[in-house]
Structure 1
Amino acid sequence: MQIAVARGATVVALARPHDHAALYELGARSCVDYTDRPAVAAIGTVDAALDLVGGDFGVSLFDLVAPGGTVALATAWSIPRYRAAAEARGIRAVACLVDAGRIRVVVGARFDLYRAVEAQAWVTNRLGFGKAAIVVGDREGRRERGDQAGTRGGPA
């Protein structure tokens, strides 16, 4: 979402209401509860949609996108006949945005490597806002919530 904002897009974020404040802080122009179907329908059509959640949600975005628009799924790709591949040029462009301070990585929780299963459950069950970071060498095995990092080395 931050990349879209940095490139001049007007962002309408579909999220749980308790995540709206954080999304406004990251640049969303407006936020809509994705479980409120009439509110989602009232958005109308959009030029592009980005799914950062996964599951069946991404497929539902196709109905919002205008003909010729774009749908991007940043999670596991499960739509038959389509392939996604990272491009070095795009990765460098994102790194430049991070270095310039125009986007930042939001880490919602950190897990030591031996707690990777718990980290996956945290993500799958949507237990917080931001990304789960696997921390190698955290001998205390702690989990920190609400941490925000702005370095290229963190999860995006």
Structure 2
Amino acid sequence: METLPLSYIKLEEKDGSGHLLPEVRERVMGEISDYIRKTGRVNYSFLSEKLGLNQRTVRDIVSDITEEWRIEDQFSIQLEIMWLENLMREVEIHPEEFTPQRIALISLKTGIFDKVRNLKNLMTPGIAVHKEVIDYHIFGQLKPATLEALARKWPKPENQQEAQQ
């Protein structure tokens, strides 16, 4: 397994109040961002230990990273909307310029946009796991202990009727 570079924060990389210097914070944000992209999850305890930062600082940095990703997604969606609006205007003004090849290319491009957007929607974070781990992957099986806990919390309807009798 490839080890991901996470550099321990030295005392001189903090200002007098204990906060990270701006250039150090940017470097750490890049390292954490790479870690999340490559592993697909956030483990606050692990990151805190490897970087020598408290968990609150790591959480703040992860929040900043996810906010940047959200803004990037919004920007790409705005570009897609502008492209589609311009395409609609062009269809109204010059319909004769739309050859079968161009229409096929436009269909391919919109299909790719849709696939990318749907995949991004599937990969939204939020599945909490024990010990400060958030898993960004949605595919995979639940652990047996998780299934047992769910079964205890939400019993099947036929089991509820037997329990009431």
How high is the TM-score relative to the length of structure 2? 0.22
User: Which one scores higher on RCO, CA 8 angstroms, separation ≥ 6?
Assistant: 2
How high is the TM-score relative to the length of structure 1? 0.23
Specify which structure has the higher proportion of strand.
1
Specify which structure has the higher proportion of helix.
2
